[in-house]
Structure 1
């Protein structure tokens, strides 16, 4: 397990400088060759951490089953975290007003997305999915796209707009 975590952390460091909208102190043209030098990272960043572009509170409407089923409102809160740490929460309010809350843990940072593990809180009602599942969060213009790989939930997706700064 420790070896796998180390590999994920090293992999995160390699691609971390390729993330769009990173910290303001980076040169715009510094993306080239970042992935060609394993183990190198910019000293002003924490290795494997959530880029500033993702920090804040995001909200939008979700659908499941390839867009066929409305899934209500998703509210995603993201704060600074390193790989292996909690990076935030997801509050899912379905079309009937029932709420499920998930805790999100950062698994991996890539040039295109954050890969996280989502786990339902133990205090959720019985209709919420308590099983851990993978979620991918990626930039889309000024928004974020949230994609769950949970078959039990119909693989919900949502385009989320920022409602609060982090």
Structure 2
């Protein structure tokens, strides 16, 4: 297990209540906490639509590609494992937001498409998701947010080889 070369200044983290955690110097721990917090905020904002951020991501993807796509491909493109994809599509189908049909080209596979109701939900949810995202990042200047986003992409693309 690797250890950090130097401990960062954690004085700004006392409001989190975890400032005594030995994991605080680790970027992965902080990213995990940040991801959990923003997911919770977005999930709360999506409650009126009976979906969570993970459902919204699938719906947004489906609305942007504008065609049917295999469940497997959605999972690969959004980094969602097979078992989780099944439950996500089950929920979207039960809500009438997506349709799952046997792929005529491969009967072992399912083709997923978004319904009109799903498109409407995505359009309405876009605003509340954007507001929740803006609220989460409001402590950052626009330059900091741009740099932070670039760094996150760099970390994610660098970690893909694992």
TM-score normalised per structure 1: 0.21
Q: Which has the higher strand share?
A: 1
- Structure 1 or 2, whichever has the larger Rg, is 2
